[in-house]
């Protein structure tokens, strides 16, 4: 049985409100345990004092996620997969983003291999206040030559700190890769019905995570996972096979649902992260455009439905951008809006004659407004008011955006309009027009009403700025 409320977690804490965890009370700490922003190990007395040893062990067991969390790689670039507690995101949230591993292969020319690895690790797309990036390199053995594979793995290690997936069904090839890269804790891919004993021995010897593979055979997949677990190999990833077209895609989808539903509902033998391999689209389609398109489709489907790690091929922008965007959307925590820090920000190079515009600290609103301003070369001050991450129209209606809050936001940012501006004018968004009189009373500034849509700001500026005295 898991615990799902702070009150249940509190029963296992010392209850002394000592503050060593950084919180003012044990109840506050318990709430952070439930949302996973803190761990039981952060409670110093619980960990160090002998009298709490039993409670600590019980609490750790009760807080453990239904789906085992598996760590691949080491250091800052290490990737965690799995670790979920729910089937549906809105019931809590999904915690560890789907890890995207893009492939290289051991028959590539060294220059081409290095260039491809650099493209993968250098990919970066700014979106709603953060950079969307990729995660891993999958090194595939095409030659089936242990020496060639080891050389490719070594070159990848010299080029990037990204975690790796070592891909071969030949245990000798995997062993050659591990002899080079074991300290980097790569994921082995894969153990199947023919090689599982040898691959299991490698996973035990080198203490690395391993994938078990049984295409469209869930009984065999469960049997392999259970066998590995009983032999002390807990860091297991499940690959039920990814069929990228027609009825095969439907079957793959159903298999993913069955595995994750069983794991969440308490079947510990199959409660492991799931791997999807959208790369198989390249085996089903002859032309590059169709293969890349269907790879992206399959990746998107299994990002939404329980794919914890994926192996992909296409590194074209038209394939990668949909993949990283849908992943970012699905793994945004629905319990709290995405926000920016409240404050007054400079857009471009504002002067004393530049406008002061107001918006909310809802990230999507703020970055949309900021983008519309900066892309049109409008130098200004942009104020993000703390509305608990709510957009303009809803914040005005709900009382999160008020004249008093605007005044408070300017004061807390240390922005003195009389010192900073020659015009002493505040520009409100059109959807906050009803606040005009109150803002004038609170701030002592003149208030102008801008457009409801920030995309119309350039035209509005041409007609209304500088303001008439």
Q: Among the residues of 385-431, which ranges form H helices? A: 392-398, 403-412, 417-420
Q: What is the pLDDT of residue 93?
A: 85
For the domain spanning 6-63, the CATH number is 1.10.15.40
Where does CATH 1.10.15.40 sit in the chain?
6-63
* Integer Cα distance of 333 and 93 in angstroms: 6
Structure tokens, 294: 């269907």
Task: Write out the H or E segment, with its range, that includes residue 71.
Answer: strand 69-72
Structure tokens, 165: 């997936």
Band of pLDDT at residue 379, cut at 50, 70 and 90: very high
Mean pLDDT of 292-302: 96
Q: What is the pLDDT of residue 130?
A: 85
* Integer Cα distance of 461 and 373 in angstroms: 10
Query: Are the CB atoms for 392 and 427 separated by under 8 Å?
Result: no
Residue 298 has a CB neighbour count (10 Å cut-off) of 27
Mean pLDDT of 126-133: 88
- 390 in a known ligand binding site: yes
pLDDT tens digit sequence for 132-142 = 999 999 999 99
- 391 in a known ligand binding site: yes
Measured CA distances, 364 to 270, 285, 413 (Å): 38, 37, 21
Q: What is the pLDDT of residue 134?
A: 97
* Integer Cα distance of 262 and 254 in angstroms: 12
- 365 in a known ligand binding site: yes
For 317-334, b where at least 16 C-beta lie within 10 A, e where not — what string?
eebbebbbbbbbebebee
- 212 in a known ligand binding site: no
Q: What is the pLDDT of residue 378?
A: 95
Task: Write out the H or E segment, with its range, that includes residue 179.
Answer: helix 171-181
Where does CATH 3.40.50.11600 sit in the chain?
343-464
Which residues are bridge partners to 428 per DSSP? 449
SS (H, E, C) 97-153: CCEEEEEEECCCCHHHHHHHHHHHHHCCEEECCEEECCCEEEEECCCCCHHHHHHHH
- 307 in a known ligand binding site: no
**Could you tell me what percentage of the chain is helix, strand and coil, using 3-state DSSP and rounding each to the nearest 5?**
50, 15, 35
Q: For 297-342, where are the E strands, in sequence order?
A: 309-312
Q: At what angle do helices 288-304 and 317-330 cross, to 10 degrees?
A: 10
Residue linked to tokens 């005009």: 436
Residue 397 has pLDDT above 80, yes or no: yes
Phi, psi of 86 (to 5 degrees): -135, 155
- 389 in a known ligand binding site: yes
Band of pLDDT at residue 89, cut at 50, 70 and 90: confident
DSSP type of residue 274:
B
- 454 in a known ligand binding site: yes
- 380 in a known ligand binding site: no
The fold for domain 67-331 equals TIM Barrel (3.20.20)
Structure tokens, 349: 């190079």
Whole-model pTM: value is 0.85
What is the DSSP track for 214-233? Answer: -TT-HHHHHHHHHHHHHTT-
pLDDT tens digit sequence for 202-259 = 999 999 999 999 999 999 999 999 999 999 999 999 999 999 999 999 999 999 999 9
- 43 in a known ligand binding site: yes
> Any idea which architecture 343-464 has in CATH?
3-Layer(aba) Sandwich (3.40)
Residue 1 has pLDDT above 70, yes or no: no
Structure tokens, 364: 């999507």
Residue 455 has pLDDT above 70, yes or no: yes
Structure tokens, 437: 């009189």
Task: Write out the H or E segment, with its range, that includes residue 345.
Answer: strand 343-347
Mean pLDDT of 431-435: 96
* Integer Cα distance of 252 and 257 in angstroms: 9
Query: Are the CB atoms for 235 and 70 separated by under 8 Å?
Result: yes
Residue 163 has pLDDT above 90, yes or no: yes
Q: Is 335 exposed, middle or buried (0-12, 13-18, 19+ CB in 10 A)?
A: exposed
* Integer Cα distance of 289 and 67 in angstroms: 36
């Amino acid at each position: 049985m898991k615990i799902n409320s702070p009150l249940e977690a509190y029963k296992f804490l010392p209850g002394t409100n000592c503050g060593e965890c950084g919180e003012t009370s044990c109840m506050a700490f318990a709430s952070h345990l439930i949302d996973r922003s803190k761990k039981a190990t952060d409670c110093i007395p619980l960990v160090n004092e002998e009298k709490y040893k039993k409670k600590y062990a019980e609490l750790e067991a009760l807080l453990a996620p239904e789906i085992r969390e598996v760590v691949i790689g080491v250091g800052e670039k290490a990737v965690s997969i799995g670790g979920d507690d729910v089937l549906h995101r809105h019931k809590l949230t999904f915690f560890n983003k789907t890890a995207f591993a893009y492939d290289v292969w051991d028959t590539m020319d060294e220059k081409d291999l290095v260039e491809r690895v650099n493209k993968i690790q250098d990919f970066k797309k700014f979106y709603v206040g953060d950079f969307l990036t990729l995660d891993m390199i999958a090194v595939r053995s095409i030659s089936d030559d242990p020496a060639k594979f080891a050389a490719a793995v070594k070159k990848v290690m010299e080029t990037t700190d990204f975690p790796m997936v070592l891909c071969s069904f030949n245990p000798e090839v995997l062993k050659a890769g591990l002899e080079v890269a074991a300290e980097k804790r790569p994921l082995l891919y894969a153990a199947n019905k023919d090689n599982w004993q040898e691959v299991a021995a490698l996973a035990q010897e080198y203490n690395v995570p391993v994938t078990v593979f049984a295409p469209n055979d869930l009984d065999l997949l469960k049997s392999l996972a259970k066998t590995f677990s009983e032999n002390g190999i807990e860091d297991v990833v499940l690959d039920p096979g990814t069929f990228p077209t027609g009825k095969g895609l439907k079957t793959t989808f159903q298999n993913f649902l069955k595995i994750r539903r069983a794991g969440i509902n308490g079947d510990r033998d199959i409660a492991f992260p799931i791997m999807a391999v959208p790369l198989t689209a390249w085996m089903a389609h002859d032309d590059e455009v169709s293969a890349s398109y269907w790879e992206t489709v399959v990746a998107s489907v299994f990002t939404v439905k329980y794919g914890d790690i994926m192996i992909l091929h296409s590194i074209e922008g038209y394939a990668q951008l949909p993949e990283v965007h849908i992943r970012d959307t699905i793994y945004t925590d629905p319990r709290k809006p995405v926000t920016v820090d409240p404050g007054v920000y400079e857009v471009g190079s504002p002067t004393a004659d530049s406008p002061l515009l107001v918006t909310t600290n809802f990230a999507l609103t703020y970055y949309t407004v900021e983008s519309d301003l900066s892309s049109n070369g409008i130098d200004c001050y942009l104020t993000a008011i703390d509305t608990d991450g709510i957009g303009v129209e809803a914040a005005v209606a709900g009382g999160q955006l008020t004249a008093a809050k605007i005044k408070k936001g300017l004061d807390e940012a240390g922005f003195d309009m009389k010192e900073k501006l020659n015009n002493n004018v505040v520009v409100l968004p059109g959807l906050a027009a009803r606040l005009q009189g109150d803002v004038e009373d609170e701030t002592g500034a003149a208030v102008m009403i801008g457009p409801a849509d920030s995309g119309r700001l350039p035209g509005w500026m041409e007609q209304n700025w500088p303001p008439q005295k």
